[in-house]
Amino acid sequence: MEKMTIQAGAIEELFGRIRSGGRRILAPVDKSGAIVFDEISSYGQVASGYIQTTLSAKEAVLPRFEEILRFRSEGKGVVFEEESNKALPTVVFGLRPCDARSLSVVSAVFERDYPDPFVRSKIENTVLIGVSCAQSDEYCFCTSVGGGPGDTTGSDLLLTRIDDAVFLAEIITEKGESIVSMAQELFARAGDVDKNSHCAKVSRYFDLEELGKRLPAMFDSPVWDGQSLRCLGCGTCSFVCPSCTCFDIQDETDGPRGIRLRCWDSCGFAQFTLHTSGHNPREVQGKRWRQRIMHKFSYQPGGLGEAGCVGCGRCSRACPVDMNLLQHIQEILEAD
Amino acid sequence: MQDNMRRKAKELLSGGAVRVVIGYGEGSGGGVRALFVRKPEDADRLIYDERCVQNLAVYLTRREVKALGKPAIVARVPVMRTIRQLMIEKQAAEGDLAVIGVSSDGSLLDFPDLKSMAEYVSSIPFELSSDERAAVGKLEKMTAGERWDWWRGQFSRCIKCYACRQSCPLCYCERCTVECNQPQWISVPSHGLGNLEWHVMRAMHLAGRCVNCGDCSRACPVNIPLNLLTQKIIKDISEEFGDTEEYALNTFKPDDKEDFIR
Amino acid sequence: MGKNEYKPYLMRIAEITEETPDVNTFRLEFTNEEEAGGFSFNAGQFGEYSVFGEGESTFCIASSPTRKGYIECTFRRAGRVTKALAAREVGDTIGFRGPYGNVFPIGDWKGKSLLFVSGGIALPPLRCVIWNALDLREDFKDITIVYGARSVQDLVYKKELEEWRAKPDITLITTVDPGGETPEWKGEIGFVPTVLEKAAPASADTIALLCGPPIMIKLTLPVLSALGFSPGNIFTTLENRMKCGIGKCGRCNVGKYFVCKDGPVFTFAQVDELPAEY
């Protein structure tokens, strides 16, 4: 991997080159105190002084809702039209190393068996410029799930601030290289840099493998009902999570024309598993809370080969009732 | 006062008067979170200070909490207002729960029954604060077009997580309007129109019921100032109908001055 | 861009049979000849059937891969999409996505006997195997079908039941719940598990296929066990809430499996290992 440096002051110029090269840039911006990814035209618009964004960058490849089918009825027949769902050439700037890793979970779910053309196309057309974490807080636990504040996995280009005016720029993939070559003169060869000294220190709180071994035997444990008493059953955790992928499918019509949409859904909602007959396999919140933990830390590791959680802490920060995921995991590991 | 609260909780639990005390305990990030105390010895985990703002009445209608048995609930003024409203709506009745009241100036209140709690909280005028009036006033001064654009901007952040609905103690419908699919009254995906429909409909369903606890706005992960909608409705109802016991939206009298409804 | 798996085949409704007041069978033909030619499936698989503008619903393919040119589905009018489907007419176009899911390992059953036990609306998922087996009759020894419903009116495939009854090389036992009989009813009267116990089919070298409402399954499994069937030789097809049908939307996730792609066909030995979340 090539190590370069770029002046902080030159990022604006880099952005200009990226945009004139035909790519839009999504970066964290402050909207009424919520830090969310949005299209920007200038580096000055990028938010600063936050530990982690409120919403993840997942939307760049799996939007809140998207068209998967477009149709119109003609007599007794039906005609398909082209879906309004094209991938725009995009650079996502400023995602954390944990977020860059999460896209591999998203990709794994949508690539297996029947590869999803919409997600694949967006991933192919998106370049990820990550930024290492100089700070972390009590909600972060990336190092417990195999990540780290300066981890390069998943990023195409990873920037680490090494002093007030300079970023280390690690070129990890060809896509990253393509960005650098847009503005070669802005980058210089890096000397010896101790990257880790510029990254936050995130303690390892638990052993992921141990958790994975423990969970199957805990299916009938009373811990789920106890932990989920204050859970309200909203979808906040699933929606802010960078690696949650469950979705709903809804049809919307306007006269003879219609679209079929895919939109975010959550296993935390009471009707997620509700059958038309009225039978609900997960009728109480404890079962739905158990599903969240089991799915991310037991089923997905079994099925996808990786945990469905990157330790970003968003769910815990956003949860209206403080269902702190890390604390719950620690409690699970301490339970008999 | 915290000590008195813990003492009260212990008393209620060990005497068997209640099976669970719903209060506040230490949480993450220097905050507090809802706490369900079932054993008297755990009552020492209850805390009470200015961080304790969540409207705990939301738990009174949740089946998993109801299954624990008769609760006592730590109730600030908005929470007491909520309990009173739940009683009006036949969701709570005398004897269903005990109230560990907290007055606006932070003193512990004891009520022999829910009727006296309801009387106490009715005697406190229900009105918007001057800051709240100013915020609503700012929106009122906009033109319709400006206001539309402003709300469209706010709702563009909405991800339809329903944290607002789930944290509202008066949104207790077992099957929410948005969960009805025959027909699908309110769209599911979080596009602009769907978001607007959802929030406006929810605000209307709270007309005359909302106790202005602010939990909806606090719960929203993307900081949409949702309670401005219900605050505007509270202001309108007060101006048009005065103080009323009845659901402003659901009440009809045959001699209503509006004749379109006939 | 690659194939959009969410784009259904367009199917013309060729025939509608009203099985009961709220259950219909559709015979569907591909509107596109080329797609018809390239399509194949195996017994056990299901599809997502669309009413454009209303949504999709999950039903098994109730016809057999041995019969070409069409597929059939049988459904009860229960919710938004099934109500809309029930309102369709012959000649209308609906969507079909599939075939999805795993299959009954019929090839492994050559030379064995087959016992089908089913109730009510749960016969359709087994009918694909019954047709398949009847079309390859010499491959199997004895074929026994035990089927019951709440009342005579609730029996599905009434005409076919008569055809099967007339065949000398199948044993068909039909039953209705006590009180569900009509004066003309000539079949058994009693619940399926009881009738099965009475019939006592042999279990040696036999595969059992059991599909029915949860209560019927609960009471029938001990009967099968007493007759000598082991859980690995009793097959079923599970239902669960589904949307995408291809293992991505998360709804049908049970333990580490997805009913839509690791099922819906399971043996009861496998079902025993599943967490009770379906």
| CA–CA separation, A225 and A29 (whole Å) | 38
pLDDT band, residue B242 (cuts 50/70/90)? confident
Domain-located, residue B72: yes
Does the residue B254 lie in any domain?
A: no
Shared domain for B115 and B202, answered yes or no, is: no
pLDDT at C214: 85
Supply the CATH classification number for the domain C9-100: 2.40.30.10
Looking at chain B, the whole-number percentage of residues with pLDDT higher than 90 is 88
Closest CB to C52: pick one of A251, A273, A302.
A251
Strands A187-189 and A2-7, bridge-based pairing: antiparallel
The answer to whether A289 faces chain C, any CB pair under 8 Å, is no
Q: Summarize the confidence of residues A317-333 as an average pLDDT.
A: 97
**How many whole angstroms separate alpha carbon A333 and alpha carbon B37?**
22
User: Exposed, middle or buried: residue B202 (CB in 10 Å: 0-12, 13-18, 19+)?
Assistant: buried
Q: What's the pLDDT tens digit per position in A181-231?
A: 999 999 999 999 999 999 999 999 999 999 999 999 999 999 999 999 999
Domain range list for chain C: 9-100, 106-237
Residue B261 lies in a domain: no
| pLDDT number for residue C256 | 87
Q: Given this model, what pLDDT does residue A305 score? A: 87
> A271, A247, A251: which is closest to A261 by C-alpha?
A251
Least Cα separation, residue B59 to chain C (angstroms): 25
Eight-class DSSP state of B39: S
Q: Are residues B97 and B32 in the same domain?
A: yes
Residue type, C142: D
Q: Which residue bears the tokens 């993450």?
A: B28
Q: Tell me which residue range forms the domain holding A162.
A: 2-334
Say yes or no: B229 and B142 in one domain. yes
Domain boundary among B92, B122, B152: B122
- Predicted local confidence at residue B261, as pLDDT: 66
> Position of tokens 């599939």?
C98
In terms of CA atoms, which chain C residue is nearest residue A125?
Answer: C1
Q: Which two tokens stand for residue C182?
A: 């009509």
Contact check, Cβ <8 Å, C55/A251: yes
Scanning A95-134 for CB atoms below 8 A from C yields 109-110, 112-118, 120-121
Q: Which tokens in the block code for residue A185?
A: 């003169």
Last residue of a domain, one of B61, B88, B122: B122
B197-230 confidence digits (pLDDT tens): 999 999 999 998 999 999 999 999 999 999 999 9
Report pTM: 0.95
Give contacts of B 178-217 with C, CB under 8 A: 181-182
Residues B188 and B138 in one domain: yes
Query: Side chain identity at A231, as an amino acid letter?
Result: C
Nearest CA in chain B to C80: B182
In a domain, B262, yes or no: no
Q: How far apart are CA B86 and CA B118, in angstroms?
A: 11
pLDDT, residue B262, reads 65
B116 and B135 share a domain?
Answer: no
Considering the domain boundaries, does residue B11 fall inside one? yes
Number of domains present in the structure of chain B: 2
Residue A99 structure tokens = 């977020």
pLDDT in tens, B85-140: 999 999 999 999 999 999 999 999 999 999 999 999 999 999 999 999 999 999 99
**Do residue B36 and residue A64 have CB atoms under 8 angstroms apart?**
no
- How many other CB atoms sit within 10 Å of the CB of residue A282? 21
The reported pLDDT for the residue numbered B243 is: 73
Q: Is residue B151 part of a domain?
A: yes
DSSP state of B162: -
Fold held by C106-237: Rossmann fold (3.40.50)
Specify whether the CB–CB gap between B219 and A234 falls below 8 A: yes
From the CA atom positions of chain C, what is the Rg in Å? 18
Per-residue pLDDT tens listing for chain C (278 residues): 789 999 999 999 999 999 999 999 999 999 999 999 999 999 999 999 999 999 999 999 999 999 999 999 999 999 999 999 999 999 999 999 999 999 999 999 999 999 999 999 999 999 999 999 999 999 999 999 999 999 999 999 999 999 999 999 999 999 999 999 999 999 999 999 999 999 999 999 999 999 998 889 999 999 999 999 999 999 999 989 999 999 999 999 998 899 999 999 999 999 999 988 88
Find which of A260, A271, A294 to mutate to test the C interface (most C CBs within 10 Å of its CB): A260
Instruction: Say yes or no: B137 and B235 in one domain.
Output: yes
Q: How confident is the model at residue B246 (pLDDT cuts 50, 70, 90)?
A: low
Q: Has residue B55 got a pLDDT over 70?
A: yes
Please tell me whether residues B187 and B232 are part of one structural domain: yes
What tens digit of pLDDT does each residue of A89-136 get? Answer: 999 999 999 999 999 899 999 999 999 999 999 999 999 999 999 999
Both B13 and B110 in one domain: the answer is yes
Does A17 score more than 80 pLDDT? Answer: yes
Q: Is A185 helix (H, G, I), strand (E, B) or coil?
A: helix
pLDDT value of position B82: 97
Rounded to an integer, what distance in angstroms lies between the CA atom of residue C201 and that of residue C194?
13
pLDDT above 90 (res A67): yes
Please state the domain count of chain A: 1
Residue A107: both structure tokens together? 């990709």
Q: What domain range includes position B206?
A: 130-241
pLDDT of residue C140: 97
Judged by a CB distance cut-off of 8 A, whether residue A70 touches chain C is: no
- Tokens for C263, please give them: 């099922």
| Subunits close to C (at least 3 CB pairs below 8 A) | A, B
Residue B185 lies in a domain: yes
Q: Are strands B71-75 and B98-102 parallel, antiparallel or unpaired?
A: parallel
Size of interface A-C (CB pairs under 8 A): 112
Instruction: State both tokens at C88.
Output: 């369709």
Alpha carbon of A296 to those of A107, A244, C262: distances in Å? 15, 9, 19
Does B93 share its domain with B158? no
Q: Are C83 and B181 inside 8 Å of each other by CB?
A: no
List CB contacts (< 8 A) between C261 and chain A: 113
pLDDT at B251: 73
Residue that is last in its domain, among B122, B144, B165: B122
- Residue B245: what pLDDT? 60
Instruction: State how far the Cα of C244 lies from the Cα of C7, in Å rounded to an integer.
Output: 11
Q: Which candidate in B179, B182, B185 is best for mutational testing of the C interface (most C CBs within 10 A)?
A: B182
pLDDT at B244: 67
pLDDT band at B25; cut points 50, 70, 90: very high
CB-CB neighbors (< 8 A) of B181 in chain C: 55, 79-80
Which ipTM did the prediction report? Answer: 0.95
